[in-house]
Structure 1
Amino acid sequence: MTESTTGRSAGTAVADERRAAPMVRVENVHRSHGSGAAAVHALRGVSFEVPRGELVALKGRSGSGKTTLLNLVGGLDTPDQGRITVDGTDLAGLGEDGLLALRRDRIGFIFQSFGLIPILSAAENVGVPMRLRRTDPAEREERVGLLLSLVGLAEHAAQRPGELSGGQQQRVAIARALANRPALLIADEPTGQLDAETGLAVMELLRAVVRSEGVTALVATHDAQLLGLADRVLELSDGEIVEH
């Protein structure tokens, strides 16, 4: 076997091992805010895995640690103790540039507040992540059109966020989160500002996106109706996983 063949075989083995591993692995993670007697223990020894291709819901009361956990998995914060691996990469081994690249290229974020840029059209909002990545303009426009069609907003491409309903704005935000073909979607209460019917439609869209785009999703929600659409539910209480 030649050296180049050996190198290819080793590379293939590493790629296969990564694909077989969970998309997210959280091991004995602790996170506190503040110090001393005033410290708030947001997470206390949390451990779980998110298999590839699944939609996993994270439930718990306000203050249970859901947002803190999502921020840690998304590389927006670092744990005091423990280990987090995303798509085969140990986040502790990444510097600021590495974390930035991870968030740009491999993780898509969806927030309760939508986070769209008011002066840009729906299509321009979806295209922002690809502009930051310097994607070829023709490829970018094709991807924007595909994603707007995927979320049912092809006819609203030229409209600005203020001209769209809350549900439509969240659909634009979902399309934007998918722009750079992430491996993982992180959604923090994505239906929190929507009425029950619209929220259910958005959650069903997320469920469909996980299947059609082949991504993994970790979604925090307090809505019991939406939990039924998840492949698995994790419950957080006082910073600990209490139910799988």
Structure 2
Amino acid sequence: MGTEEPLVAVEGLRRVYRSGPKEIVALREVSFEAAPGELVAVRGRSGSGKTTLLNLVGGLDRPDAGRVTVAGHEVTALPEEGLLELRRDVVGFVFQSFGLIPVLSAAENVGVPMRLCRTPVAAREERVRVLLSLVGLTEHAGQRPYELSGGQRQRVAVARALANRPRLLIADEPTGQLDSQTGRQIMRLIRALVRSEGVTALVATHDPALITLADRVLELRDGVLAPA
């Protein structure tokens, strides 16, 4: 990856949650970089800070200290409107719970981000067709989420996350609701899409079998990055 500028740069992130007089430090002085086209796994026990870290990088939450830069955008300095644009145009999200709209078909779910961007109909339909083909769901385009298996629903969610050609894909325990074999298929799919689409991916997982597919692994322990 040479001397290429990092796509993601995280410097000194700290996040504290307060519950009455108590303070819970979720992240302490976390710093790392991710290169363009790199698949970085973030592992750690439940409560180690994985979701907090991903939310801060993706602009879903703000840190108490530190800085995040994604594709040249200083996420931590953006106003709310800028964060909306970042999440629409630069970052794609995949969640453990799939997050599909029940009344829409697989194809319509994948097309939602492009509707929000007012992508012309012909271009939108072609992109949906390409993405459903990439995730192996061409024959299921007209089916609604309840007609699909868990693995198929997560494939739709991955395709939707890539709809607007994001530079960064953030996946928070994307295999958490799937059996191990299906989970491995989803991680292989993300691995293949990172390569074919040139996307950087940040994937939180605690599944050791899935870690092996990453280019690099970051381990969080009680909100601190463990030494490599």
TM-score (norm 1): 0.91
| Identity percentage of aligned residues | 70
Does residue 80 of the first structure (1) align with residue 64 of the second (2)?
yes
How big is the shift at 1:152? 0.2
Structure 2 residue aligned with 1:178, among 162, 167, 177? 162
Does residue 128 of the first structure (1) align with residue 112 of the second (2)?
yes
Residue deviations 1:134-176 (CA, integer Å, cap 9, x gap) = 0000100000000000000000000000000000000000000
Aligned partner letter, 2:70: V
Partner of 1:59: 43
Does residue 27 of the first structure (1) align with residue 11 of the second (2)?
yes
Comparing 88-97 with 168-177, which one deviates more in the overlay?
88-97
Aligned partner letter, 1:91: V
Number of residue pairs matched by the alignment: 226
Partner of 1:143: 127
The structure with the greater share of residues assigned to helix is 1
Aligned partner letter, 1:196: S
Does residue 156 of the first structure (1) align with residue 140 of the second (2)?
yes
Partner of 1:111: 95
Comparing 160-169 with 34-43, which one deviates more in the overlay?
34-43
Residue deviations 1:69-88 (CA, integer Å, cap 9, x gap) = 00000001111001111111
User: What CA distance in whole angstroms lies between the structure 2 residues aligned with 1:106 and 1:180?
Assistant: 8
For the residue of structure 2 that corresponds to 1:185, the secondary structure is: strand
Aligned partner letter, 2:98: F
Residue deviations 1:55-81 (CA, integer Å, cap 9, x gap) = 000000000000000000000111100
How big is the shift at 1:35? 5.8
For the residue of structure 2 that corresponds to 1:77, the secondary structure is: coil
How big is the shift at 1:37? 4.1
Residue deviations 1:203-228 (CA, integer Å, cap 9, x gap) = 00000000000100000000000000
For the residue of structure 2 that corresponds to 1:84, the secondary structure is: strand
Does residue 38 of the first structure (1) align with residue 22 of the second (2)?
yes
CA RMSD in angstroms, aligned pairs only: 1.1
* Structure 1: gaps spanning 5 or more residues: 1-18
Does residue 89 of the first structure (1) align with residue 73 of the second (2)?
yes
After the TM superposition, which segments of 4 or more aligned residues of structure 1 sit over 3 Å from their partners?
none
Aligned partner letter, 2:218: L
* Structure 2: gaps spanning 5 or more residues: none
How big is the shift at 1:92? 2.7
Does residue 102 of the first structure (1) align with residue 86 of the second (2)?
yes
User: What CA distance in whole angstroms lies between the structure 1 residues aligned with 2:138 and 2:97?
Assistant: 22
